[in-house]
Amino acid sequence: MLTKKIAIFSRFFVVVMFAIAGCSKTSTIVVNPGSSITETMSFEKDITPIFMNSCAMSGCHSAGSKAPELTAANAYKSLTDGNYFKANDPDNSVLMMWLTGKKSPVMPIGKGPDETINAKVYAWIKQGAKNN
């Protein structure tokens, strides 16, 4: 009788563990907030510091690491050459898809979607993604 109870409890425990494991959250999708920004975004003043602080300094997108290289000297060329954005079309830009969680992994790694970063990058792309 005790063996039967242990077997039933063990099966129940295994089923519960699989159910819990299946409930994990793999990505977060946020609304692109950049359309609310009306001032002109400058790649040099507004976007490069974001990439330097959140992407290149972590070692993920520094020189010789994972593409695109997002150092101050090479970020624009690397993003352009790799077709990571579509000027005037942030919703269909790979860069925005990573930042918003529509494409995995969500960037910046470990932090996930950041509304301030997303808003500025979204607005910059929407405004033509100029190297200004």
Q: Whose CA is closest to 36, among 96, 95, 112, 120?
A: 120
The domain ranges of the chain are 28-126
Mean pLDDT of the chain: 82
Write out the H or E segment, with its range, that includes residue 82.
none
pLDDT > 70? residue 101 = yes
Whether the Cβ atoms of residue 87 and residue 125 lie closer than 8 Å to each other: yes
Question: 3-13 as b/e, with b when 16 or more CB fall inside 10 Å?
Answer: eeeeeeeeeee
The predicted-structure confidence for 22-34, as pLDDT tens digits, reads as follows 444 444 455 556 5
pLDDT of 128 reads 97
Residue 47 neighbours by CB distance under 10 Å:
24
What is the residue-wise DSSP string for 56-78?
ITTTTTSTTSSSSP-STTTHHHH
pTM of the model: 0.73
How far is the CA of 9 from the CAs of 18, 21, 28, in angstroms? 14, 18, 35
Residue 28 neighbours by CB distance under 10 Å:
11
d(CA 72, CA 20): 43
Question: Phi/psi at 30 (nearest 5 deg)?
Answer: -115, 160
d(CA 11, CA 30): 38
The predicted-structure confidence for 7-53, as pLDDT tens digits, reads as follows 675 665 555 455 455 444 444 455 556 567 889 999 999 999 999 99
The predicted-structure confidence for 66-81, as pLDDT tens digits, reads as follows 999 999 999 999 999 9
